Structure 1
Amino acid sequence: MPAVSISLRVLAGAIISILTVSGCQTLDDAGRVIGRADLVNDLAARLDRSTELTYSADYQLPGGQHASISQSQDPLRAAYTYPGGKLTVTTDATTACDTTTRKPTCTLTAPPPANAKPSITIFADMNKRGLVTPPVVVGLLTSAALDPDATIRQYDTTVAGRHATCVEVDQLSDAPAVGFDACITSEGALGSFTGTVDGTELEVALSRYRDAVQSDAFDLPAGAGLVDRRAEAGQPPA
């Protein structure tokens, strides 16, 4: 696959469904004929609905590194922990923390508008440091569904003991990734992702999933220095 490292070799033996290529159709579990775009759109919608879940997910990254995603609904908030950083999104602030130094630094900016999802740009740093997030993958799946030149192969597998539907996408003409391999669990969580996004090779695999969140999941790193920039956007500090 050009410009993309697809290395989910552990999934190779789990492929149980036929290839779905441009112009072809396959059958879903209910026997309904679905097209290439329908399949990818369904996965994108499933992953996008994960924002409505309360869950914690741990991920294995290359080199023995780890990342995690935690999300709760009451109150609505999310936290992403990855090598060298942590991002929390709450109704009070979007807080990006740099943990590469002895004393972590956290920068607070305005939260997303009410009833709006965070801008995908806030996840760019995570892409560079090894963690691809559900919003980024949703965008890639949407691009694949709209691209008539994309080649899409679908298969099912099990990730961290959970069923997942996967797509291997190649030859994207207008997206941050030329190609990628992504698996979405039945719950709607990101099961795995392999590909090169914005020039960074990413390989993420779910290692543990829980329908609960620990109370300290949204805490900032201990001893972190705070830089509050919410006033720059017209929002007074909380």
Structure 2
Amino acid sequence: MPRSRLIPFVLAWVTLTAALPGCGDSGQVMDRADLVNELASQLDGSGELTYSAEYQLPGGGTAMIAQAQSPFRSAYVYPDGKLTVTDEAVTDCRRSGSTMTCTLTAAPTPNNEPAVAAFRDAGAHGLIAPTVVIGLLTTAALDTDATIEQSGTTIAGRPATCVAVRGVRDDRASAFDACITTDGVLGSFSGAVDGSQVDIALTRYRDVADPAAFTLPAGAKVIDKRTGT
């Protein structure tokens, strides 16, 4: 289902089933439906942007999320590899020792909608997809035992809305902190997702897609599963 149809459906469902009284002041428990509508709309809107977002990882490592339009393509780049989705292929590059191996599989359908499954294990490399954050927020909003607190901050010079989520009855993530900039870009995320700790903070944002994010690493071994070779 196209994202433009999926997100409004999910948000409408949350509004009808999970609206709870609250307020939106910093540090206060917010109305879950309002929170999900606001942040999910911002994150979903970033799907229309062309940008490069650079992140600081624990231990001094860095990572990048890049995205471009016409044709739509996206890339997650981390210290031990990268994952790209284009209209030609999903390319998963992973380093083992001194060898980088890139596996190409068929592009998702429709081509302008990166499959969430393609980025499901991004957390194992220290990154998390914005669509995954939307899912985590939606789950939290539907859990009446969860608490969601809102605050505001500035990340890499950009205003951002932050949430602290606790007590979610969800095997994926029971507690996490996330900040989303007013551009709709993921500003920071901290928490254990699917058993992998994610701790990232935006350090630089550009409204252009870094071309290097979409190229194969030099000297990489390529396995093209689209043709069975």
Same fold (TM over 0.5): yes
Structure 2 residue corresponding to 1:162, chosen from 148, 158, 161: 158
1:147-196 residue CA offsets vs partner (Å, 9 max, x unmatched): 22210100010001000001100111135000110000000000000111
Moved >4 Å (runs of 4+): none
Q: What is the match of residue 16 of structure 2?
A: none
For structure 1, which segment, 87-96 or 118-127, has the greater mean C-alpha deviation from structure 2 after superposition?
Answer: 118-127
Distance 1:175 1:53 in 2: 31
Distance in structure 1 (CA, Å) of the matches to 2:191 and 2:64:
19
Larger displacement relative to structure 2 (164-173 or 74-83): 74-83
| 1:64 aligns with one of 48, 60, 63 | 60
Q: Aligned pair in 2 of structure 1 residues 218, 112: CA closer, same or farther (>3 Å)?
A: same
Partner in structure 2 of residue 26 of structure 1: 23
Counterpart Cα distance in 1 of 2:61 and 2:181: 22
**Does the Cα contact within 8 Å between 1:85 and 1:100 map onto a contact in 2?**
no
CA distance in 2 between partners of 1:215 and 1:84 (Å): 19
Q: Which runs of no fewer than 5 residues in structure 2 stay unpaired?
A: 1-18
- In structure 2, the partner of 1:53 is 49
- 2:70 matched to 1:74? yes
TM-score normalised by the chain length of structure 1: 0.81
Q: Please state whether the residue corresponding to 1:26 is helix, strand or coil.
A: coil
Q: Which residue of 1 aligns with 2:192?
A: 196
Give aligned-pair identity as a percent: 55
5 Å-filtered alignment, 1:1-238, equals: 23-27=20-24, 35-114=31-110, 117-231=113-227
**Matched position secondary structure for 1:50:** helix
**TM-score normalized by the length of structure 2:** 0.84
Residue 157 of structure 1 aligns with an amino acid whose one-letter code is: T
Distance 1:115 1:92, change over 3 A: closer
Q: Structure 2 vs 1, CA of residues 114 and 23 (structure 1 numbering), >3 Å: closer, same or farther?
A: closer
SS across alignment from 2:211: coil
Query: Structure 1's 74 and 115: CA in aligned 2 closer, same or farther, altered over 3 A?
Result: closer
Q: Decide whether the 8 Å contact of 2:86 with 2:111 is kept in 1.
A: no
Shift of 1:137: 0.9
1:17-63: CA deviations, max 9, x gaps?
xxxxx9442258xxxxx832211232022112211110000000100
Which structure's relative contact order is higher, taking Cα pairs within 8 Å and 6+ residues apart?
A: 1
1:91 to 1:185, Cα distance in 2 relative to 1, 3 A? same
Q: Helix, strand or coil: the match of 2:122?
A: helix
Judged with a 3 Å threshold, the aligned counterparts in structure 2 of structure 1 residues 186 and 175 are, in CA distance, closer, same or farther, namely farther
Contact 2:52 2:67 in 1 (8 A): yes
One-letter amino acid matched to 1:230: R
Residues 147 and 173 in structure 1, CA contact (< 8 A), matched pair in contact too: yes
For structure 1, the residue ranges without an aligned partner over 5 or more in a row are 1-21, 29-33
Structure 1 or 2: more helix by fraction:
2
Structure 1 residue 104, shift from structure 2 partner = 1.1
